[in-house]
Amino acid sequence: MTLSPIPTPTATPPDILRCAYMDIVVTDLAKSREFYVDILGLVVTEESDSEIYLRSFEEFIHHNLVLRQGPIAAVAAMAFRVRSPKDVDLAEAYYQELGCRTERRAEGFVPGIGDSVRVADPLGFPYEFFYATTHVERLAWRYDLQGPGALVRLDHFNQVTPDVGRGRKYLEDLGFRVTEDIQDKDGVTYAAWMRRKDTVHDTALTGGNGPRMHHIAFSTHEKHNIIYICDKLGALRKSDLIERGPGRHGVSNAFYLYLRDPDGHRVEIYTQDYYTGDPDNPVVTWDVHDNQRRDWWGNPVVPSWYTDASLVLDLDGNPQPVIERTESSEMAVTVGADGFSYTRKDDELAGFKLGTTL
Amino acid sequence: MTLSPIPTPTATPPDILRCAYMDIVVTDLAKSREFYVDILGLVVTEESDSEIYLRSFEEFIHHNLVLRQGPIAAVAAMAFRVRSPKDVDLAEAYYQELGCRTERRAEGFVPGIGDSVRVADPLGFPYEFFYATTHVERLAWRYDLQGPGALVRLDHFNQVTPDVGRGRKYLEDLGFRVTEDIQDKDGVTYAAWMRRKDTVHDTALTGGNGPRMHHIAFSTHEKHNIIYICDKLGALRKSDLIERGPGRHGVSNAFYLYLRDPDGHRVEIYTQDYYTGDPDNPVVTWDVHDNQRRDWWGNPVVPSWYTDASLVLDLDGNPQPVIERTESSEMAVTVGADGFSYTRKDDELAGFKLGTTL
Amino acid sequence: MTLSPIPTPTATPPDILRCAYMDIVVTDLAKSREFYVDILGLVVTEESDSEIYLRSFEEFIHHNLVLRQGPIAAVAAMAFRVRSPKDVDLAEAYYQELGCRTERRAEGFVPGIGDSVRVADPLGFPYEFFYATTHVERLAWRYDLQGPGALVRLDHFNQVTPDVGRGRKYLEDLGFRVTEDIQDKDGVTYAAWMRRKDTVHDTALTGGNGPRMHHIAFSTHEKHNIIYICDKLGALRKSDLIERGPGRHGVSNAFYLYLRDPDGHRVEIYTQDYYTGDPDNPVVTWDVHDNQRRDWWGNPVVPSWYTDASLVLDLDGNPQPVIERTESSEMAVTVGADGFSYTRKDDELAGFKLGTTL
Amino acid sequence: MTLSPIPTPTATPPDILRCAYMDIVVTDLAKSREFYVDILGLVVTEESDSEIYLRSFEEFIHHNLVLRQGPIAAVAAMAFRVRSPKDVDLAEAYYQELGCRTERRAEGFVPGIGDSVRVADPLGFPYEFFYATTHVERLAWRYDLQGPGALVRLDHFNQVTPDVGRGRKYLEDLGFRVTEDIQDKDGVTYAAWMRRKDTVHDTALTGGNGPRMHHIAFSTHEKHNIIYICDKLGALRKSDLIERGPGRHGVSNAFYLYLRDPDGHRVEIYTQDYYTGDPDNPVVTWDVHDNQRRDWWGNPVVPSWYTDASLVLDLDGNPQPVIERTESSEMAVTVGADGFSYTRKDDELAGFKLGTTL
């Protein structure tokens, strides 16, 4: 199935500051609370029987994550903060020109967030744009409250979409800039990292069946904070929530860990990428066969990391249908009998590290 | 002496991205090279008998620091990168409207930097604005070259000026935003932190006799990198280059260390402040008598840190005359017989920690 | 006052394994609990209205610290664990030969400890020797319980005594080995570090008016754990409990922090000294004028660290009289108008760092 | 094949202090030097065209590792330091009573080591015992020489032997104490950790075809030092030298990384186990099916880690024949179609994490 290109609107895009929060549906709120609050230590801004509003320690807006009890685990919204109230108007007009369904609510869709627009974007994702928010205490100095694995910032989203090139062009029109990507020599793009704030990304596109949400990522200050989270999961006999890592990414150069929440929503813990705020920030392109692209140490990417992702909802709360990727799959071209990867580009014998040991 | 207010120009200010490099005069280039290259491990982009161009490991522009052999230790330029070539024109016009002397060089003032304007700004500092620069390898992934105290970014400048309020207003007009400041209950401002990129500052104003340069700051990834620098200085029997710290700042919440180079230029090593990129980022105001404002652990600020700073040059290379601060001195109001500080605001007996032990 | 030498007993000394616990009297148990449990996070093994038994996370014996409500802040016992039950007999006989008062209790002096002997040793300290103890859970793997500043081991004691050479000879007879010391060129010893287990010390002798207890030290795994404790004290507005540090010791090469508990008892947090278990382990002697001996970074030792210490009790619970040190004082010979220190031995101008800045 | 029990000698065993050095044969000395010196940063005490003597930064004996050019990659000796010269005599007599071949050399087998005895021990390993050694500079304070992944101590050896129970009894007779082991409910022992110094082990026995050397382990101070080694290997495009990890061990609670040198000799980098020096130190027994026993985070043990190991030499320099293990294989019972592991003991569905994702 060939997806048609997404036109560039004539409207001015909103000035997006950063990824701000994700609104996710969970099927057992108590279990999710245990994961996000008791284990990961996110800060509860407010909560009810059906919803919990969580933030990271250095955040001053109302929340970075909404957990919402519901029947199907899915993503209800991926929200970006814009520079000013009028940028919400710009966002609404921009998506209307794209022919997307939009919904504007002056009082916001969730507590702590004011005038917002939600859209079903051309890739099928439920994006939200807002400026107005309730300020809450920035707990950066509250070391008495911060545990050894303290999550200090929301760092980024990651979205699965069948045609990364198509999605990238759409996000570039919207004002995102690519910082890194993964390609092959035939020009297939397997993934692209796109930023508004001065980090490697506010969101990334991962090639695969979509629209689906690949993960949401929170930052720690140091690497030992991430290691602690693993240690704690071991102590709680929940190490099977660790899906991949910890490790060092090639892309982004960050230290990482991937967890799965009780519904299977993937959460990355991430630290120490680099400054990207200059307009001529060099784009880094990785060869899909480079075995250090996703893990700098060559440790294998587990297949579930490639195949699993969360459904996303339309504006009525129904799951968006998932469209299959038709281009090459990164897993297929790099893992197993048909795929290959190299550690050194000119090695005669390309070898996938896991392949040589398992 | 009352300094007259600096008018707000009608011209559009340049869109400043970030502090980019400092050009400093050192009196013994070999000794300075030992300090910045052999000890601190900054990367040499290029060098000659009279100049050395240095950068941090994650930098892709030509340099973050110029060491220039000369007769008097001083600062020749504090350079900011702007968003586009036309912003250099805007900067030139902006300062001309302010009545400042400006000098434009299409070929740049130093290797690796193109079209630039240097100005003697209203506070007496030699500011430079440029966009064009030679890209060099970003060594973020070159762990084989990075030592245990690797400096990965230029973080900020810090300037001493007699009237912080006057300087702050000028920098706000130029597009900087205040993130934190230190005041007393009478409204005297002792220091202000001002940012363009999404960190706590690109430059700060410290109240004192000026114009003088207080310090230049580089970032590490983690706190242990900073501790290592101290350990190495001990091993080299150069611990007397450590002026203050390591410690945790109250202001900025960053972990810090202050060193003095062979000419006495102050260098801060800094890590882990917080994201400030939202327009409504909450400003933090500290009471000058709060003993945790400059060191969160209440460790004393050594007097030299308050009194010493580097001369700055005018566009002819002559030192700018230093104007005395007439407002209260932070050192005087907080240290010693006449000053006081408190750990807990309501303590009856306010006590400066050093005072009770020394 | 000249103290007579302590004779070498003919009796076999007990085989001491390690420093095991300290029994201290505090004047406000609730305040002490807040300090040791709520702030430092030591593990409560058991407690009553008048006593609290605390251990570190990797400990399997009943406790490393007893807090005991009492009228005068002091040390009731410094307890060492011996290799076998019969070593308690050896200890008793050894001190009886020395003419010291001893008290043996088959049921132990405190809960969790069995057959023990307490002695008023020749230096005036209340030493205890025991083997029998209740095993408790070693919480090494319980990362869910360990906070960011987790204290994982009891590391050492430190005792103040007027004549370090006299005390050292006594402890060497008892089986301790010196690992490091501080001397001057006239042969005065200012301090000595003495070990049984394979670390730099189980106890140290600090020259000064004594017998007094200088500090008890707990270990963390990493340096950031110690930094966190400072950060937390700042967050709690209790930074005035930080007396000295954090820093890197010259002696021991460990990273350190000194705190004062609500009664003024000094607690060190310590990490990363080196293996000393070989019989020919090289002894390191430091020059008292070497400004990096106590802080490798040359940061000043605050006077209270030299002058303050805790009273120790005799076996009836009365404070031991304090005998003045008559040899040179380390503080006097290194700090202030009459003292001097150097960073580099051959520098013409010896300079105490604090002296040049304050 | 049933191996006959090893009798307990009547002779007094030597008093072993600690594992001290390993003497290994490498087939390309230049490549090995690159690995151990250029990449891992071990300190060269001395070297010739055919041998290199290396030590860790906190070591004061001549070396911890000998690299010796030879035709077959193998281990020539595993050397333990004993408490006194007479313990060398004891060792010689002890093994002679066991009927083992011994070779005594008053001048030592290698430079820097004096009077020694080498034995072909009952398990087929080339053990050496010595006391006399040349002292060299302990570089603990030489931070100027220590890189970001500095190896500060030799921690332990690990040996592969078919019958762990048989080997354990022999080592207990020799004076080692078990700290941890892995068993199944039928009483099969899969591995045992045995110590002399106050850490979890000086050597360990791993069940498998032997005698073979499983690995030699060096310590770092902190976890980030180990992560750096991975990062550096990535930067050098040698990430395929990383065999397993980094991770947290269940057994020992240490943070770990396994590398393979150019000959396939396995090197562990290790940090932060716990104190074990008390005679009643609690032994920890792990269930072989506990998926957190070897990696606390449940990350898979790669098969090569179970199957590969280095040959060991007899006293003539010929490889010892390898005897097959007849008891259950840990790999077989825990990995793949026939094996299983659990994260939580009572889970109905036991699942090996890798199994569910690959």
How is residue A121 written in tokens? 């974007």
- Chain C hits for D16, CB-CB cut-off 8 Å, are none
pLDDT at B346: 78
Residues of chain D with pLDDT under 70: 1, 337, 348-358
DSSP-derived secondary structure for B63-117: -SEEEEE-SS-EEEEEEEEESSHHHHHHHHHHHHHTT--EEEETT-SSTTB-SEE
Select from C202, C165, C259 the least CA-distant residue to C15.
C202
Partner residue opposite D253 with nearest CB, options C83, C141, C197: C141
Confidence of residue A358 (pLDDT cuts 50, 70, 90): very low
- Strand bridging mode B203-207 / B212-219: unpaired
List all residues 6 or more positions away from D10 whose beta carbon is below 8 Å from its beta carbon: D97
Cα–chain center distance at A149: 20
Q: Name the closest residue on chain A to residue B199, using Cα atoms.
A: A198
How is residue B173 written in tokens? 């007009």
C231/C241 Cα distance (integer angstroms):
12
Q: Residue A133, CB half-sphere, CA atoms under 13 Å: how many?
A: 27
Residue type, C330: E
User: At CB < 8 Å, which residues of chain D contact C?
Assistant: 17-18, 58, 60-61, 81, 83-84, 135, 138, 140-141, 152-153, 197-198, 221-223, 250, 253, 272, 274-275, 277-282, 296
Select from A92, A90, A85 the least CA-distant residue to A131.
A85
How is residue D40 written in tokens? 């891992």
Q: Do C303 and B358 touch (CB under 8 A)?
A: yes
User: At CB < 8 Å, which residues of chain A contact D?
Assistant: 222-224, 227, 230-231, 233-234, 237-240, 242-243, 246, 248, 250, 255, 291-292, 296-299, 302-305, 343-344, 351, 353-354, 356-358
pLDDT at D325: 96
pLDDT at B339: 81
- Chain D hits for B271, CB-CB cut-off 8 Å, are none
Average pLDDT over residues B332-358: 69
Q: What is the mean pLDDT of each run of 10 residues along chain C (358 residues)?
A: 88 98 98 98 98 98 98 98 98 98 98 98 98 98 98 98 98 98 96 98 98 98 98 98 98 98 98 98 97 96 96 98 95 82 77 45
pLDDT at D97: 98
Q: Do A222 and C224 touch (CB under 8 A)?
A: yes
Alpha-carbon distance values, C296 to B242, C274, C293 (Å): 11, 16, 6
DSSP letter (8 states) at residue B22: E
Instruction: Give A134-172 pLDDT, tens digit per residue.
Output: 999 999 999 999 999 999 999 999 999 999 999 999 999
Cα–chain center distance at C254: 14
Average pLDDT, chain A: 95
Average pLDDT over residues B204-227: 98
- Strand bridging mode C74-82 / C65-69: unpaired
pLDDT at A1: 55
Alpha-carbon distance values, D251 to B94, C352, D271, D273, D353 (Å): 67, 48, 13, 9, 18
B5/B325 Cα distance (integer angstroms):
15
User: For testing the chain A interface, which of C143, C225, C232, C241 should be mutated: the one with the most A CBs within 10 Å?
Assistant: C143
Q: Name the closest residue on chain A to residue C141, using Cα atoms.
A: A235
Alpha-carbon distance values, D65 to C166, D59, D111, D160 (Å): 41, 11, 12, 19
Select from C75, C71, C124 the least CA-distant residue to C321.
C124
A205/A254 Cα distance (integer angstroms):
17
pLDDT at D349: 56
- Chain A hits for D250, CB-CB cut-off 8 Å, are 234
Whether the link from the prior residue into C211 is cis, omega within 30° of 0, is yes
Partner residue opposite B237 with nearest CB, options C239, C302, C344: C344
pLDDT at B66: 98
Q: Do C278 and D141 touch (CB under 8 A)?
A: no
Backbone φ and ψ of A230, nearest 5°: -60, -45
Backbone φ and ψ of D132, nearest 5°: -70, 130
Average pLDDT over residues B347-355: 52
Confidence of residue A348 (pLDDT cuts 50, 70, 90): low
D49/D59 Cα distance (integer angstroms):
24
pLDDT at C339: 81
- Domain spans in chain C, listed from the N-terminal domain onward: 16-312
Q: Do B144 and D232 touch (CB under 8 A)?
A: yes
pLDDT at D347: 76
Please report the beta strands in chain D, taking only residues with DSSP state E, as ranges in sequence order.
16-26, 43-47, 51-55, 65-69, 74-82, 102-105, 116-120, 126-130, 153-161, 177-183, 189-195, 203-207, 212-219, 242-248, 255-260, 266-271, 284-287, 310-312
Residue type, C121: D
Neighbouring C-beta atoms of residue D182, cutoff 10 Å: 26
Q: Chain A: nearest CA to B63, how far in angstroms?
A: 14
Q: Chain A: nearest CA to C352, how far in angstroms?
A: 34
DSSP letter (8 states) at residue A34: I
D24/B271 Cα distance (integer angstroms):
43
D138/C337 Cα distance (integer angstroms):
35
- Chain B hits for A279, CB-CB cut-off 8 Å, are 17, 83-84
How is residue B227 written in tokens? 């501790």
The CATH superfamily of D16-312 is 2,3-Dihydroxybiphenyl 1,2-Dioxygenase, domain 1 (3.10.180.10)
Instruction: Give C201-225 pLDDT, tens digit per residue.
Output: 999 999 999 999 999 999 999 999 9
Q: Which residue has the tokens 């084989």?
A: B144
pLDDT at B356: 45
Average pLDDT over residues B143-152: 98
Kindly tell me the number of DSSP H helices and DSSP E strands found in chain D.
7, 18
In chain A the first and final C-alpha atoms are separated, in Å, by: 36
Alpha-carbon distance values, A124 to A20, A81, A320, C210 (Å): 19, 19, 7, 77
Q: Chain B: nearest CA to A278, how far in angstroms?
A: 7
Partner residue opposite B292 with nearest CB, options C234, C246, C304: C234
Cα–chain center distance at D81: 15
Give buried/exposed letters for B82-104 (b at 16+ CB in 10 A, else e): bbeeebbbbbbbbbeebebebee
Neighbours of chain A (3+ CB pairs under 8 A): B, C, D
How is residue D24 written in tokens? 């290994």
Q: Do B278 and A81 touch (CB under 8 A)?
A: yes
Whether the link from the prior residue into D162 is cis, omega within 30° of 0, is no
How is residue C242 written in tokens? 């930080």
SS (H, E, C) chain C: CCCCCCCCCCCCCCCEEEEEEEEEEECCHHHHHHHHHHHCCCEEEEECCCEEEEECCCCCECCCEEEEECCCCEEEEEEEEECCHHHHHHHHHHHHHCCCCEEEECCCCCCCECCEEEEECCCCCEEEEECCECECCCHHHCCCCCCCCCCCEEEEEEEEECCHHHHHHHHHHCCCEEEEEEECCCCCEEEEEEECCCCCCCEEEEECCECEEEEEEEECCCHHHHHHHHHHHHHCCCHHHEEEEEEECCCCCCEEEEEECCCCCEEEEEECCCCCCCCCCCCEEEECCECCCCCCCCCCCCHHHHHCCEEEECCCCCECCCECCCCCCHHHHHCCCCCCCECCCCCCCCCCHHHHHC
Neighbouring C-beta atoms of residue D11, cutoff 10 Å: 15
C351/C349 Cα distance (integer angstroms):
6
Neighbouring C-beta atoms of residue D206, cutoff 10 Å: 24
Confidence of residue A347 (pLDDT cuts 50, 70, 90): confident
pLDDT at D355: 41
Q: Is the pLDDT assigned to residue A350 strictly greater than 80?
A: no
Q: Do C246 and B243 touch (CB under 8 A)?
A: no
- Strand bridging mode B310-312 / B74-82: parallel
Q: Among A288-297, B277-286, D337-346, which stretch is predicted with the lowest mean pLDDT?
A: D337-346
DSSP letter (8 states) at residue B322: P
- Using an 8 Å Cβ cutoff, are C209 and C161 in contact? no
pLDDT at D348: 57
Q: Please classify residue A193 by burial: count the beta carbons closer than 10 Å to its beta carbon, then call 0-12 exposed, 13-18 middle and 19+ buried.
A: buried
